[in-house]
């Protein structure tokens, strides 16, 4: 086995259990604090720092990874996640909004350090000119991560039911600590470390293609989280009368399907005009298809069709098309990133991703409380429309830095 493949497998195997805990925490917090009587908007506010610090972390984390190595930033993220899990084992009297938001802030920092490190690390392991391999490796990493995040949703709901909130947190923290110790021994030092230490002023991208792609990513992920983060699980539990396990199991199945589709995207989408990998035209096509789905679900609900059937069918279709959009975007940022500045470029891009998630999360609670699930779906469609319009500026170029994308 060559060293690049070995290190890719170590990164993936480290990323998986972290993602499992990330999905479990989200489901545990949404369901447990809804059970405690929090309103949908208050539940959304619990994730405010989680998403906000993701914005800061992706910017600073990309710079830090370029200076000290992506292996260190990945392990720092895992350590912070263990601390966040431990914080949530406190007695109910401690679990104020401010306290939980602080724990979620640490979890948000941890998640984005880990994600940025894993995805940027893949770029360093693939020789330049091997866009086909890069597309496959990025799709597999992203798809498997999301499948396990879905499993985490189910695990969180199941642990809440059988072990209680605190027992679940302790079990997740112990498992992640074991993985951290193993990964620290196997992952090489200096992974992704830049040859020259980048200045802090280099945090922001000066490549138009990456800037436009980042702006499209903001609206793409905002569109998903506007109805998925708070509105959907609360609707399934409070309106359709599903149990915790049913909610967690269904959302887990959705994210697992989403992850499987992402992993299969290299065999599903056209490779662009150059025949090497997706390009800006691919991103535009799938954004347009995605835009139609939340609008169709909203119309079906407004026409009085059976809501359970509409939600299940619509969400499955949305998941497939959203997975294709996400996989194409994830490939483009890795392909267009400069090899010696990969963590900076990827960090900037995922900063936009975190900003979109933050906006979507806040809007999910507020819109659901004021306009219901159909309101969330119409806002989702508007966000995807914005992503489609922004994608008109993406170049149709082969892998690597597009010639018209240099600042």
- pLDDT tens profile 157-196: 888 888 888 888 888 888 889 888 887 777 666 565 555 5
Q: Which domains does the chain have, with CATH numbers?
A: 3-191+202-405 (1.20.1250.20)
pLDDT grade for 343, boundaries at 50, 70 and 90 = low
Give CA–CA dist 61/55, Å, rounded. 10
Q: 399 Cβ partners below 8 Å, 6+ apart? A: 129, 131, 134, 135, 276, 277, 335, 336
Contact status, residue 96 vs residue 240, Cβ threshold 8 Å:
no
pLDDT of residue 109: 86
Least confident of 36-50, 119-133, 166-180: 119-133
Q: Is the dihedral of CA 205, 211, 213, 218 positive or negative?
A: positive
- pLDDT tens profile 347-379: 778 788 888 988 898 888 889 888 989 999 999
């Amino acid at each position: 086995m060559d060293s690049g493949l070995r290190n890719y497998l170590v990164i993936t195997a480290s990323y998986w259990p972290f993602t499992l805990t990330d999905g479990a925490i989200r489901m545990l917090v949404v369901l447990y604090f809804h059970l405690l009587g929090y309103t949908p908007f208050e539940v959304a506010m619990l994730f405010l720092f989680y998403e906000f610090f993701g914005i800061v972390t992706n910017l600073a984390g990309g710079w830090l990874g370029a200076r000290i190595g992506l292996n260190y930033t990945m392990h720092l993220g895992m350590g912070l996640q263990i601390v966040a899990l431990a914080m949530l084992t406190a007695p109910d009297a401690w679990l104020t909004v401010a306290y939980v938001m602080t724990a979620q802030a640490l979890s948000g920092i941890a998640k984005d350090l880990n994600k940025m490190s894993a995805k940027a690390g893949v770029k360093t392991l693939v020789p330049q000119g091997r866009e086909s391999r890069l597309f496959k490796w990025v799709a597999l990493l992203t798809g498997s991560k999301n499948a396990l995040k879905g499993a985490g949703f189910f695990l969180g709901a199941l642990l809440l039911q059988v072990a209680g909130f605190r027992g679940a947190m302790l079990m997740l923290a112990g498992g992640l600590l074991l993985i951290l110790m193993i990964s620290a021994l196997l992952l090489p030092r200096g992974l992704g470390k830049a040859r020259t230490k980048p200045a802090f002023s280099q945090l922001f991208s000066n490549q138009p293609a990456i800037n436009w792609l980042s702006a499209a990513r903001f609206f793409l992920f905002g569109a998903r989280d506007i109805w998925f983060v708070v509105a959907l699980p609360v609707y399934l539990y409070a309106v359709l009368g599903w149990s915790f396990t049913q909610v967690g199991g269904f959302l887990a199945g959705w994210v697992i399907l989403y992850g499987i589709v992402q992993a299969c995207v290299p065999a599903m989408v056209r490779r662009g005009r150059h025949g090497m990998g997706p390009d800006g035209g691919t991103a535009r096509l799938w954004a347009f298809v995605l835009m139609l789905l939340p609008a169709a679900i909203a119309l079906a609900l407004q026409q009085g069709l059976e809501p359970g059937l509409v939600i299940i069918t619509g969400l499955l279709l949305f998941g497939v098309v959203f997975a294709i959009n996400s996989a194409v975007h994830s490939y483009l940022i890795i392909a267009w990133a400069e090899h010696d500045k990969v963590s900076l470029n990827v960090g900037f891009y995922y900063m936009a991703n975190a900003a979109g998630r933050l906006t979507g999360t806040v809007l999910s609670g507020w819109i659901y409380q004021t306009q219901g699930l159909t309101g969330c779906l119409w806002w989702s469609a508007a966000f995807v429309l914005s992503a489609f319009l922004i994608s008109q500026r993406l170049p149709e170029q082969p892998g690597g830095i597009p010639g018209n994308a240099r600042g």
